[in-house]
Amino acid sequence: MEKENIKKVLEELKKNSKKRKFKQSYDLIINLQGLDLKKPEQHVDFYTSLHYGKGKKLKICAFVGPEMSEEAKKVCDLTVNVDEFNNLTKQAVKKMANEFDYFIAQANIMGKVAAAFGKVLGPRGKMPNPKAGCVFLPKAQLQPLYDKLQKTIRVSAKTALMIQCAVGKEDMKDEEIIDNVMTIYTQVVNSLPNHDNNIKLVSLKLTMSKPMKVA
């Protein structure tokens, strides 16, 4: 996939898009082929760090024990102490699941996190995930993790032969969007058994537009 093709599509999307009352996102869509998703080893599911974020601040909630409470409160958008878990209603947990982009947790309380939040966060793919660095040891420095997660996205295709993920906002520079697209595309290709032979179609779209073919 050529950077010049991405740039042309971005220009077309901007030219043909109606002005909205909100900043639209650019979505990258990668249609796959030649994979049997009934086989877990052929699933696509990984986290990747972008050089540029997605154009918005992500909200991060921390589940902690007493030894990490002060650190988490300094860094994260919400801190939930382990002794507060039983006080939260299912409705409150659902509200948190909708409001926060990532959940991080202290490693030695993960069993209690799973018991209290697994039924709500699990189906949404929002349980603290070690692959993304979201499970940390007591006495960890959380600011580097918080900053990293601002540029981290999950790339997944487990039930359908399609990957779709936001790669930025329409007020970002074209170069930043292109870099984000190329970062994701390269890692997807490298994760596939037959590499680019497993790619059927690559498209970009704005939130309210139809997809446009890139490759």
Measure CA 28 to chain center. 13
Q: How far apart are CA 15 and CA 75, in angstroms?
A: 40
Q: At what angle do helices 110-121 and 90-99 cross, to 10 degrees?
A: 80
Domain annotation for the chain: domains and CATH numbers: 3-55+152-213 (3.30.190.20), 60-149 (3.40.50.790)
Return phi, psi of residue 33, to 5°. Answer: -150, 160
State the pLDDT at residue 21.
87
Q: Give the predicted TM-score (pTM) of the model.
A: 0.87
State the pLDDT at residue 215.
85
Q: Which amino acid, residue 17?
A: S
Measure CA 185 to chain center. 15
Which residues does residue 156 pair with via DSSP β-bridges, in sequence order?
45
**Ranges of residues in the chain whose predicted pLDDT is under 50:** none
The structure tokens listed for 77 are: 């958008």
What are 7-39's pLDDT values in tens digits? 999 999 999 888 888 999 999 999 999 999 999
Contact 80, 93 (CB under 8 A): no
CA-CA distances (angstroms) from residue 69 to 75, 90, 94, 105, 149?
10, 23, 22, 11, 19
